Amino acid sequence: MNDLFSPARSALLASILGAVSLLNPSGAWAQSPSKTIRQADFIVAVVNSEPITNQEVQVLRQRMAKEASARGNSPTATELTQLAVEQLINEKAQLQQAREAGIKIEDEAIEQAELNVAATNQLTREEMHKRLAQDGIALSSFREQLRTQLMLSRLREREIEGRVRVSDLEVAQFLREQLQTQAAQVPPELNLGMILIAVPENSSESETKALSERAADIARRARGGERFAELAKSFSQTTDRGANGGDMGLRPMDRYPDLFVSATRSLNVGDISAPVRSAAGFHILKVLERRQANTLLVTQTRARHILLRPSAQMTQAQAVAKLTEVRQAVVSGKADFAALAREMSQDGSAQQGGDLGWANPGMFVPEFEQVMSRLRPGQVGEPLVSRFGVHLIEVTDRRNAPMSDQEQRTMARNALREKKLDETYAAWVQDIRGRAYVEMREPPQ
């Protein structure tokens, strides 16, 4: 499988990676708070006799500020400080409950978590240790962060995961609601049969009248019981001469001319319209099929990319500069994207000209998918740096495709489970917080 495809990760690993971010958005290594209260530090709050220091608050506040900035948000310093204090209070209370419940983290689990974090940051464990040392972060402090997050994760799994159940009845109800919502947003599909009696340019009024009468006669014959397909083969003046019986094919209603939709809107399946006039001539229309999609649709994107992996021979900056040149050549029409992908991409898709095929949402790693989803078909994005290297992405097409029954049920169950987990987690956090003794301290004057 292509490296871009997002690996299935457990909630445990996701929690660790979300809480222990080695590289912050500015490119500096995130600093971990010391357990020792420094001389210039002070206690902000006490949770069941365990202190929260100002240093801990400021470290978390800075990280939250960078994350908010990356999302385009701009909370005030006061708001960030309040959020950081509240998060630390919740974590302290939860850690105390984890210890009371006898939850312990084995050294093997720390080792595996360390390997996972290193791999996510595209480093070996040894390289990660060197980077930590260069930035003055003690390995013991880093491993303690991992232990903390693993304890919190195990507590949450034990207290929350088992409470959440999604029934088949809930899945069915969810799918019915989604289909109703989709029906209001997605036009129904329509299949029309058509017989065209062409009106040549510069036809006289009498010639046009005769052709109109001919079309009306054919319409009467069709309504009288003659087979529409045979009439189309005998009289239609379309390019295929009615070879397919006039069948225009099932398609979304908005892909038919407005004239045809208006002429057939009040007709039932099997009914035949009176002749309607267009620039081409007189059209006799039969409603062959009309249906609303009875399966959920998913927006799929087809894209291709060129991947350059930074190495001793090519730095990340050089890879970005190289792909910037490639983009300019492609956009200006001087180069073919697929040919360049086959020539230079360091990815398994290179032989296919960088083509990644049709992809459902969530199939690629988030940083790649966020950029891809913003591009229009035919648009080439700026070079993107991801955990795998530097990409140049072109979206070639986008479509709404039906989901299989299994995909619909899986999607519904996952969506309902996530919603219930969020609700249960929020209630659980509030319960833990409510049962904790919290004393807020005033800063020293």
For residue 39, what pLDDT band results from cuts at 50, 70 and 90? very low
pLDDT at 307: 96
Third-level CATH fold of 297-402 = Chitinase A; domain 3 (3.10.50)
Note the helical H segments in 101-124.
107-120
> What is the Cα Rg of the chain in Å?
32
Mean pLDDT throughout 177-195? 85
**Residue 220: pLDDT above 70?**
yes
pLDDT at 59: 86
Higher pLDDT, 18 or 302: 302
Distance of CA 312 to the CA centre of its chain: 34
Higher pLDDT, 363 or 305: 305
pLDDT at 128: 87
pLDDT tens figures, 261-315: 999 999 999 999 999 999 999 999 999 998 876 778 888 999 999 999 988 888 8
What is the three-class DSSP state of 242? coil
For residue 205, what pLDDT band results from cuts at 50, 70 and 90? very high
For residue 41, what pLDDT band results from cuts at 50, 70 and 90? confident
What is the rounded distance in angstroms from the CA atom of residue 391 to the CA atom of residue 291? Answer: 42
Q: Which helix (H) or strand (E) holds 398?
A: strand 389-402
The answer to whether 48 and 93 have CB atoms below 8 angstroms apart is: yes
Q: Which amino acid is at 251?
A: R
Two tokens, residue 352: 């296919």
For residue 12, what pLDDT band results from cuts at 50, 70 and 90? very low
pLDDT at 40: 63
The answer to whether 178 and 244 have CB atoms below 8 angstroms apart is: no
Higher pLDDT, 34 or 141: 141
pLDDT at 214: 96
pLDDT at 5: 52
Give the rounded percent of residues in the chain with a pLDDT score beyond 70: 90
The answer to whether 169 and 262 have CB atoms below 8 angstroms apart is: no
pLDDT at 67: 83
What is the three-class DSSP state of 65? helix
Among the ranges 32-36, 151-155, 235-239, 272-276, which has the highest mean pLDDT value? 272-276
**Residue 87: pLDDT above 50?**
yes
297-402 has the same fold as 187-291: yes
Distances (CA, A) of 424 to 157, 268, 377: 11, 49, 40
DSSP string, 198-226: E--TT--HHHHHHHHHHHHHHHHHHHTT-
In 292-388, which ranges are E strands?
Answer: 297-308, 355-359, 384-386
What is the rounded distance in angstroms from the CA atom of residue 60 to the CA atom of residue 83? Answer: 9
What is the rounded distance in angstroms from the CA atom of residue 393 to the CA atom of residue 137? Answer: 36
What is the three-class DSSP state of 250? coil
Domain 187-291, architecture per CATH: Roll (3.10)
What is the rounded distance in angstroms from the CA atom of residue 351 to the CA atom of residue 348? Answer: 7
pLDDT at 270: 94
Residue with tokens 């070996």: 124
Two tokens, residue 342: 């086959």
Two tokens, residue 75: 């909370």
**Residue 29: pLDDT above 50?**
no
For residue 46, what pLDDT band results from cuts at 50, 70 and 90? very high
Mean pLDDT throughout 335-349? 95
Beta pairing, strands 189-198 & 251-252: antiparallel
Q: Which of 296, 300, 319 is CA-nearest to residue 390? A: 319
Mean pLDDT throughout 95-114? 91
pLDDT at 346: 94
pLDDT at 28: 37
pLDDT at 388: 85
Q: Which residues contact 222 (CB under 8 A, 6 or more apart)?
A: 195, 228, 231, 272, 284, 286
**Residue 184: pLDDT above 80?**
no
Residue with tokens 């910037």: 324
What is the rounded distance in angstroms from the CA atom of residue 303 to the CA atom of residue 310? Answer: 22
**Residue 25: pLDDT above 50?**
no
pTM to 2 decimals? Answer: 0.56
For residue 14, what pLDDT band results from cuts at 50, 70 and 90? very low
Q: Which of 263, 390, 267, 373 is CA-nearest to residue 317? A: 390
Q: Which amino acid is at 241?
A: R
**Residue 416: pLDDT above 60?**
yes
Domain ranges of the chain: 11-156, 187-291, 297-402
The answer to whether 146 and 16 have CB atoms below 8 angstroms apart is: yes
Third-level CATH fold of 11-156 = Triger factor/SurA peptide-binding fold (1.10.4030)
Backbone angles phi, psi at 415, to 5 degrees: -65, -45
**Residue 163: pLDDT above 80?**
yes
Helices 405-435/139-160 angle, 10° precision: 110
Higher pLDDT, 28 or 48: 48
Mean pLDDT throughout 161-169? 90
Two tokens, residue 110: 């720390």
Two tokens, residue 116: 């996972």
Backbone angles phi, psi at 161, to 5 degrees: -55, -45
Average per-residue pLDDT for the chain: 86
Q: Which of 53, 107, 48 is CA-nearest to residue 441? A: 53
